[in-house]
Amino acid sequence: MTRARQPSDLDVAGRLGWVDAPSPIEALPALAERLGLAWVGAKRDDRLPVLQGGTKPRKLDFALAEPRLADAARWASAGAIGSGSLVALTAAAAKLGRRLDAHVFWTGLSTGVVDNLAFTASGPTELRYYGSRAALALRRPTVLLGDTCRGAAVIPPGATSPTGMLGLVRAGLELADQVRAGELPEPDRLYVALGSGGTAVGLAVGLALAGLRTQVVGVGVVERTLSPLRRLRALREGLLAKLDALGIARPESPIRLAVDRRFAGAGYAVPTRASLDACADLEAEGLSLEPIYTGKAMAALIAAARAGGASRVLFWQTQRARALPHDARWRDRLPPALAHRLALAEDPARLARRRLILGLGAVAAAVGAGVRFTGYPALAGFRGTVLATWEAHVFRAAAEAILPPATDAGAFDAIAGRVDRYLVGMPPSVQREIHAMLAIVEHGTPIGGRLARFTRLTPADRARLLDGLAARGGLLAQVYSGMRDLTYLAYYQQPATWIALGYEGPRVALDYDPRGPDRSLHPAYEDLRAPRGALPRGIVR
Ligand SMILES: *Cc1c(COP(=O)(O)O)cnc(C)c1O
């Protein structure tokens, strides 16, 4: 009989030693009674006394001990504005005297989101703001895919890496110890929220390594496309390879991980009725949940208990401790565009008022400047169907201001032509909006305190002006995002830019003719292709 695996077996990997005593197990007898289960309890990672608690410190305990990160003075990581991972990293940076570039994207506000943002903004951090997850991926691919981003060592989203997941393998062994010590019965099932997937995969491997038969149920809290099964399999294989490298034998028992996606609702950061109900329910039992991760996981546990099938069920409380400290003036540290959007989201009435005022202001400014669309030279290689020559110049000027420096001079010249091709299929109402948008950018410079046309400013002044539009919110912020999105759309159509995205290019040849004989060779591509005349979501003819 070989000796049982111990949490300390993982120490060969090197860790900071931040996670020490096991997090407590708390039985929830009233809930068990209500659900008709033999036993229900929670593994209280919110009581871990490091980095504000929660499960993320378990990953960082190992991840930050890796030489690549241990030796870096500056880290970079991406997450939602209310990201728990960025909270833990902020606390870690404060503890170790490092700085963190926090690349944050917008999500709707719900319980805990503003608290997390306030804490992150109060720490040794630089916040960089993006209007959406897609905008972040397009504008800063290296913080998602690279090793370094603007000179800072990158920590992947959710701190999910093979090394970080070792913290959850250790947690699985810790739980097995508690089962052996009689603190809880061996659970039939363990419910845990599944975001990037590192927590659920790491726990499932840890429990298998300990020889427990517990089925881990990862409750999806994000859109399926963000954590497809193939990604979870890749995480598992990466983790097993890491164990091999450390000389730790792979588990002999099967790794039992099931994924339940029925409780994700509309996707990440969007609470569901069931999740809000679960939060209210468990508050009464003395367990504090939030609606984005733990509420959804608990909703799945409750629904499954009603359906029967398991009798001893463990809930993994991944949520951080309740109150987070923050600086009284944290809002002053936010990028202006984020501060503005936050203020509007917290007071929707303001949005309607500003829309109207700014709409009128922009038109008045454009007229006051004397709108002239003449005197623009031809642009190399550009012959527009929708866009006039002056409009092509505006796109070229915007590209110089907001895109990474071009590696070949032709790259910026080609932007307007590609935007034009995209606009050809758009309804006239959309084309009219684009013309108005370009007039505001080119001749609306007095809004930003400048009298010259946009195309005559230096690239740095143009960038400042566009940022200024974003910060004003409402209509002007829409002008800014319209310019930016179209410019990026055209930019990332150019094969030379794909390498920065880690994109290997289409599986079909660039000269592929969708009506030609090659068609039958690419059924999957044909499935993806929009039907002729289809419009992007949200646009009506
Ligand atoms: C990050 C997080 C999780 C899930 O972690 P993943 O490893 O990304 O799947 C669960 N709950 C809370 C509260 C979290 O912050």
| Spacing, Cα 72 to ligand 1 middle (Å) | 25
Torsion of CA 176, 177, 179, 183, to 10 degrees: -140
* Residue 4: both structure tokens together: 């049982």
Contacts of 455 (CB under 8 A, 6+ apart): 376, 390, 393, 394, 396, 397, 442
Distance CA 485, CA 434 (A): 12
Query: Considering the chain, what is the average pLDDT of its residues?
Result: 87
pLDDT at position 356 is 44
In what helix (H) or strand (E) does residue 108 lie, and over which residues does it extend? none
Strands 152-154 and 148-149 turn out to be antiparallel
Tokens of 517: 């004989």
Q: Which of 56, 58, 89, 166 to mutate to test the pocket of ligand 1 (most atoms within 8 A of CB)?
A: 56
More confident residue, 368 or 533: 533
Residues 6+ apart with CB under 8 A from 456: none
Residue 424 has a pLDDT of: 87
| Token pair belonging to 360 | 């009128």
Burial class for 407, CB neighbours closer than 10 Å (0-12, 13-18, 19+) = exposed
pLDDT of residue 372: 60
**What is d(CA 191, CA 315) in angstroms, rounded to the nearest whole number?**
5
Whole-angstrom distance, CA of residue 288 vs CA of residue 355: 38
What band does 525 get if pLDDT is binned at 50, 70 and 90? low
Q: Measure 362 CA to ligand 1 centroid, in angstroms.
A: 43
Most distant CA atoms of the chain, gap in Å = 88
Ligand 1 atom with the smallest distance to the CA of 193 is 10
Q: Where is average pLDDT lowest: 94-98, 285-289, 448-452, 479-483?
A: 448-452
Q: How far apart are CA 158 and CA 235, in angstroms?
A: 13
3-state helix, strand, coil in the chain (%, to 5): 50, 10, 40
7-53+162-317 with 58-160: one CATH topology? yes
Q: How many residues does the chain have?
A: 541
Q: Determine what percent of the chain is predicted with pLDDT higher than 70.
A: 87
Instruction: Tell me: pLDDT of 483 over 70.
Output: yes
Distance from residue 293's CA to the centre of ligand 1 (Å): 7
Facing residues of 78 across strands? 103
Tokens matching residue 450:
């400048």
Which ranges constitute the DSSP H helices of 403-473?
410-424, 428-443, 459-472
Atom of ligand 1 nearest to the CA of 160: 7
Out of 62, 293, 294, 324, give the residue to mutate to test ligand 1, the one with the largest number of ligand atoms within 8 Å of its CB. 293
CB neighbours (10 Å) of residue 88?
26
Q: Are 217 and 192 in contact (CB under 8 A)?
A: yes
Tell me the CA–centroid distance for residue 443 and ligand 1, in Å.
47
Angle between helices 229-246 and 162-180 (to 10 degrees): 80
Q: Which two tokens stand for residue 485?
A: 């999105």
From the CA of 194, how far away is ligand 1's center (Å)? Answer: 6
Instruction: State residue 164's pLDDT score.
Output: 97
Distance 85 CA to ligand 1 centre (A): 8
Q: Which residue has the higher pLDDT, 389 or 506?
A: 389
Q: What is the mean pLDDT of residues 12-24?
A: 95
Compute the distance between CA of residue 347 and CA of residue 511 in angstroms, rounded to an integer.
50
Mean pLDDT of 214-222: 96
Q: What percentage of the chain carries pLDDT values higher than 90?
A: 57
Q: Where are the domains of the chain?
A: 7-53+162-317, 58-160, 347-501
Contact (Cβ atoms closer than 8 angstroms) between residue 159 and residue 74: no
Q: Cα 476 vs. chain centroid, distance in angstroms? A: 25
Q: Is the pLDDT of residue 322 over 90?
A: no
Are 418 and 492 in contact by the 8 Å Cβ rule? The answer is no
What's the pLDDT tens digit per position in 223-276?
Answer: 888 888 889 999 999 999 999 999 999 999 999 999 999 999 988 988 999 999
Query: What six digits make up the tokens of 456?
Result: 């005559």
Residue type at position 353: R
Ligand 1, CB cutoff 6 Å, lining residues: 54, 56, 84-85, 158, 160, 193-200, 293-294, 318-319
d(CA 91, CA 486): 38
Q: Tell me the range of 89-93, 145-149, 351-355, 426-430 where mean pLDDT is highest.
A: 89-93
Task: Specify the ligand 1 atom closest to the Cα of 290.
Answer: 13
In the predicted structure, residue 406 carries a pLDDT above the cut 80: no
C-alpha 4/C-alpha 21 separation (Å) is: 18
- Which of 46, 120, 199, 231 has most ligand 1 atoms within 8 Å of CB, for mutation? 199
Q: What is the pTM of this model?
A: 0.71
Between the CA of 364 and the centroid of ligand 1 the distance, in Å, is 49
Strands (E), 13-70: 25-27, 39-44
Nearest to 198 by CA among 74, 387, 59: 59
CATH class of the domain defined by 58-160: alpha beta
Please give the number of the atom of ligand 1 that sits closest to the Cα of 157: 8
In CATH, what is the architecture of 7-53+162-317? 3-Layer(aba) Sandwich (3.40)
pLDDT of amino acid 349: 62
Structure tokens at 449: 């305190």
Predicted confidence (pLDDT) per residue in 485-517, tens digit: 888 888 888 777 776 666 666 666 767 776 777
d(CA 177, CA 157): 30
Compute the average pLDDT of residues 87-110: 95
C-alpha angle 390-394-395 in degrees, rounded to nearest 5: 120
SS3 103: strand
Q: How many Cβ atoms from other residues are within 10 Å of residue 284's Cβ?
A: 9
pLDDT for 445:
59
Q: In sequence order, which residues have a C-beta less than 8 Å from that of residue 476 and are 6 or more positions away?
A: 358, 362, 440, 447, 469, 470
Q: In ligand 1, which atom is closest to the CA atom of 199?
A: 7
